[in-house]
Amino acid sequence: MNRKQMQNLLGFFLFNFTKVEYQGIENIPTKGPLLMVTNHLGRLDIPLLLANPVRPEITAFVAKKYQKFPFFRCIVNSLNGIYLDRTTADFEAFRKAKKVLKSGMALAIAPEGTRSSTGALAEAKSGAAMLAMQLQIPIVPIGLQGTETATSLLRKFRKPKLTARFGKVFYLPSFNKENRETQLKEATTEIMCRIASLLPEKYRGFYSNHPRLIELESAV
């Protein structure tokens, strides 16, 4: 199955069996390299992002474990997903990600590295910040809601409401020669606070009441 067929299939499923709402799609650049950073709640996160109406060529990082499941493998392979080994520094996956971004495509990544077990944000890893700082590309934060309970509701033949809220584009500074680790930590916090600002309080977790989050909200 090719990309267009798979996206049509995902779109059919989402818009017929769930209640989908995309907010702030005007914030998504229509072309050029783009890093889309998001919280990670459930297995429908990636299909929800892949079915967005602005960047149909989007791809995403996907945990390597999903190669073992034919259904998920079919979806990921059709959409040129990048398998990521979460147990190690996966340099091959990041090489592929850079190639995708340099070609002018959009790439989705969850900086937390795995699905949240509580629904709230966990402390993030630095991979997304490193990509953005090395390539100096625009970033769009995304706040997802509803996917954490979607599977259980579908099993009960109920339509879950899924929301993807897109924030404004921002950039991270490039690396300087000193304090690389500090820069990565600060950049990762910036990414996560921007995601948190798009979410209700119950989803903010580790970044709830962070000074940078408060600053972002006061500027609105």
134-175 residue pLDDT tens:
999 999 999 999 999 999 999 999 999 999 999 999 999 998
Give the position of tokens 């921002």. 170
Under-50 pLDDT residues of the chain: none
pLDDT of residue 73: 83
Model pTM score: 0.94
Q: How far is CA 188 from CA 72, 112, 209, in A?
A: 29, 10, 16
Q: How far is CA 110 from CA 12, 42, 159, 161, 168, in A?
A: 25, 11, 25, 21, 17
pLDDT of residue 77: 84
d(C-alpha 38, C-alpha 60), whole Å:
11
Q: Where are the domains of the chain?
A: 14-218
